[in-house]
Structure 1
Amino acid sequence: MRRWCARTAGAIAVLLVTSACGSEPALEPDAPITTRSAAGSPTAGAVATVPGTLAWDFNELRGSLNGRVGLAVMAVGGEYPVLLGDWTSGSAWSTMKVPLTLAALRNNAGYSGTATSAITSSDNSAAETLWQSLGTGEVAAQSVEDVLREGGDATTEVPATRTRADYSAFGQADWSLADQIRFASNLPCLPQSDSVTSLMGKVNYGQRWGLGTLDGAEFKGGWGPDLSGNYLVRQFGLLPVEHGEIAIALAAAPTSGSFDDGTVILNKLAALIDKHLEELRGGDCPAPR
C-alpha cells in the first residue's frame, strides 16, 4: 500500500456551478445517462479545500463548453470534495472496471494479465472475464459493491444483470461524481490497490485524453451512449501534487452527443487543472492504528 504525506490547506466552501460537457465513440458503452442532485450526498454543502481561482476559472471556462460537465477534486485521505459543474451522476461505464479489477485480483491474483487488458486497454472481454471470475452475477455485484463501500462510497449499487443486452452489468451502475471522487480519494489506501493503480498509470496512448494529458496521472476512463445514442465521457484518477496526491473526477455530456466532443471538453478541464496544480495540496492515507 502506498502512503503520502500532508493534508489540505486553503479552504473555501464547496461550489456547485453550472457548465458543459462532451461525448465519445464505441469500445465500451454500458447504460443510459441519468442525472440526479448531489444533495443526498453526505458531503454536500460541506467545507472543502480548493483555490478560489480554480472555481473562478472554471466558471469562466464553462461558457465555452457546449454541454453539461462535472469536475470534482479531493485530497487523498481527505474528508470533503469540491464539486463543480451541472453534471452530477450517470452511467459508470468502464470507470467501474477499477473496483471490479481490484475485487477480482483479491479473489484470484492469477488474473493479472486479464486485469492489465481491462485497465490499460479498457478491454471489455477481459473485464467480463474478471466479472465472471467472481461468481454469479449477484456475487460479482456484491464483491464490487464491497470494494466501493471500503472506499467510502456508501450508496452506489452495482446491477447483477445487464439492463441493456449489449453492455456490461457493472458498467450500467449509476455512479455519481460525489461518490466516485470519494472512492478515488480512498483508493490508494485500500489493501492491494497498487495492483490496480499501477495499471492506471499505463493506460494506452489512444485513451490518454483528459487526465491522460497530465504528467504522473493514474486514471481510468469510461464512455458510452444513452438510449438516444448520445455519449457520456468520464474519467477519474490520482495526481501527484505538493504534499501527496489528489483525486480528480471528470464527466462530460456534450450537446452534440459525440465522443470526440466529450474528449475535447475533458482535455480543456485537464488543462484547467494543470494551470492550478501548484495551488492544490495533496493528502496521504491515514496511518494504521
Structure 2
Amino acid sequence: MAASSPSPGRPRRAGRRIAASPGYRRTRAGARRIWYAPLPAVIVPMALVLLTVIAFGASRSANGRPVAAEVTASETPTPTPSPSPRPTPVPRATEPVTDVNLIGLRTQVDSIESRYGVRIGLGVAGVAPVGQRLTATWTAGSLTSGPAWGTLDVPIAAAVLDLDSMPSNLTYMLTKSISESSLSSDEALYTFLGGADDAPQAVNKVFQEFGDQVTTVATSTDRQGIPAFTQTDWTVASQSEFAGQLWCSSIDWYIIGRMQYVDDEHSYGFGNVVGSRIKTSEGTTADGSVVLRQMAIIPTSTGERVGASLVVTAPADQADTAREAADAVAGQVYFAALGFGDGHC
C-alpha cells in the first residue's frame, strides 16, 4: 500500500482560520491606518522615539554602566604650600683631645704597667699634612721617651728618598730594615747618607720638615758595639706626630708600603691591628733591661687613622712579658683612642 502524503488543503484551511481571528483583524486594521496616514503623522512619532534612544545611550558608558558624574573644581584657588626650609646641618662638635676624653685609656695603661711589671710610654696623634698638627697629641704611662733604636730607620729612609741618587738595591734595603728589623741594614742606609756630619744632618732635616725642632740624631754613645744613631732620644709625643704626618706624605709611600709587611717576629703590639703600618725594634739598656720600641699608623674602632708611639721596658730576659704588655696596650688604643677625628691629610 502506498504511503499517504499530506493533504494540500491543510495549510490553506489553517491560514483561513488565522485570517478569521479577531487579533488578526485588529492588527490588519492598525497597519492599514498607518499605511494610509499622512506622512507628518508617521515621521514625528518616529523622530521622538529615535531621540529618546539617543539620549539614553549618551547616559551610558562604553561598558554599559552609567557615566560618573563630572566634578567641577572650585573657582577658589587652593594655596600652594611653600616648601619648608631645609634643616641646617648641625656641625659635629670637635672634642679636644684632653685627659677627660681619654681618661679611661690612661687608666688602662696604668693597669697594664702594674699587671705585667713593666714601664710604658704611649703617644697618640691625629694624622696631618707634613709639618702640621691638626689635633692635640696625647700621652700616657710612666715613660715619656726612650732610645729610638731601629725605629729611627723610618726618618733615615725618608732622608735617603730625598737624595738625588738613591741605592740601586733600595727595595731590598728597606725590606730588611723596616719589614725585618735588621740593624745591619739600618746601618747601611744611614751610611749611604754620608759621613759623620752629613748623615745626622740629613736625618735632622727630615725631623724639622715634620715639625720636630727638638729631636736630633745622637752622634756618640758609650755603649760598645751599638751604632750611636740608635740611641737617639725620641719622645713618644714627637714620634706619634711623625707617624701621623708620615701617613699624609705622598713622597714617603714607598716607606709606608714596607711598614705594611712586617715579619711575624716583629708583628706584635700594633701589628695585631688590621690595616696597621708598623716599625718595630728591640734593644736593651746598659743594665740589661729589655726595651721595645714601636711606631705605628693604625685605624681605630671608629675608622679614624692615628699615629702612635710605644716604648715598653721590662726586666732582663722578660722580652715575652714586654711583648704581651705591648699587645694589651695596642688593643686598648684601638678601642679607646677617640677624639682624633679632625685629623686629615
TM range (shorter): 0.7 to 0.9
Provide the C-alpha distance between the structure 1 equivalents of 2:304 and 2:339, rounded to a whole number of angstroms: 13
Alignment RMSD: 2.4
**Percentage identity across aligned positions?**
26
Aligned pair partner of 1:264 in 297, 306, 324: 324
The residue aligned with 2:234 is 175
The residue aligned with 2:171 is 112
Alpha-carbon distance, 1:225 to partner? 1.0
Provide the C-alpha distance between the structure 2 equivalents of 1:8 and 1:161, rounded to a whole number of angstroms: 48
Alpha-carbon distance, 1:74 to partner? 1.1
Provide the C-alpha distance between the structure 1 equivalents of 2:247 and 2:338, rounded to a whole number of angstroms: 21
The amino acid that maps onto 2:96 is: A
Question: Structure 1 stretches of 5 or more lacking a match?
Answer: 1-6, 16-49
In structure 2, relative to structure 1, the CA distance for the partners of 1:247 and 1:12 (3 Å cut) is: closer
Provide the C-alpha distance between the structure 1 equivalents of 2:252 and 2:162, rounded to a whole number of angstroms: 9
The residue aligned with 1:197 is 256
Q: Give CA-to-partner distance per residue, 1:154-203, whole Å, 9 cap, x none.
A: 11111234542311222111111122112122112335110111111111
Whether the 8 Å CA contact 2:223–2:286 is kept in 1: the answer is no
Greater share of residues in strand = 1
The amino acid that maps onto 2:280 is: G
SS at 1:222 equivalent:
strand
The amino acid that maps onto 1:247 is: G
What is the aligned length? 245
The residue aligned with 1:11 is 96
* Largest Rg, 1 or 2: 2
Provide the C-alpha distance between the structure 2 equivalents of 1:226 and 1:52, rounded to a whole number of angstroms: 30
Provide the C-alpha distance between the structure 1 equivalents of 2:236 and 2:203, rounded to a whole number of angstroms: 18
Provide the C-alpha distance between the structure 1 equivalents of 2:295 and 2:315, rounded to a whole number of angstroms: 21
In structure 2, relative to structure 1, the CA distance for the partners of 1:136 and 1:240 (3 Å cut) is: same
Provide the C-alpha distance between the structure 2 equivalents of 1:280 and 1:221, rounded to a whole number of angstroms: 23
Provide the C-alpha distance between the structure 1 equivalents of 2:199 and 2:115, rounded to a whole number of angstroms: 41
Asked whether 1:160 is paired with 2:219, we answer: yes
Alpha-carbon distance, 1:67 to partner? 2.0
Asked whether 1:249 is paired with 2:309, we answer: yes
Asked whether 1:67 is paired with 2:127, we answer: no
The amino acid that maps onto 2:329 is: L
Alpha-carbon distance, 1:9 to partner? 4.1
Q: Give CA-to-partner distance per residue, 1:222-269, whole Å, 9 cap, x none.
A: 221111111111211101244641111111112456322211110111
Give TM-score, length-normalised by structure 1. 0.77
Whether the 8 Å CA contact 2:125–2:340 is kept in 1: the answer is no
SS at 1:13 equivalent:
coil
After alignment, is 122-131 or 157-166 more displaced? Answer: 157-166
SS at 2:178 equivalent:
helix
In structure 2, relative to structure 1, the CA distance for the partners of 1:122 and 1:60 (3 Å cut) is: closer
Q: Give CA-to-partner distance per residue, 1:30-87, whole Å, 9 cap, x none.
A: xxxxxxxxxxxxxxxxxxxx44433343344443131211111111013311111111
Aligned pair partner of 1:209 in 242, 246, 268: 268
Show the 5 A alignment for 1:30-45. none
The residue aligned with 1:227 is 286
Alpha-carbon distance, 1:142 to partner? 0.8
SS at 1:160 equivalent:
coil
Whether the 8 Å CA contact 1:243–1:283 is kept in 2: the answer is no
In structure 2, relative to structure 1, the CA distance for the partners of 1:275 and 1:182 (3 Å cut) is: closer
Question: Structure 2 stretches of 5 or more lacking a match?
Answer: 1-91, 129-133
The amino acid that maps onto 1:260 is: D
Provide the C-alpha distance between the structure 1 equivalents of 2:93 and 2:172, rounded to a whole number of angstroms: 37
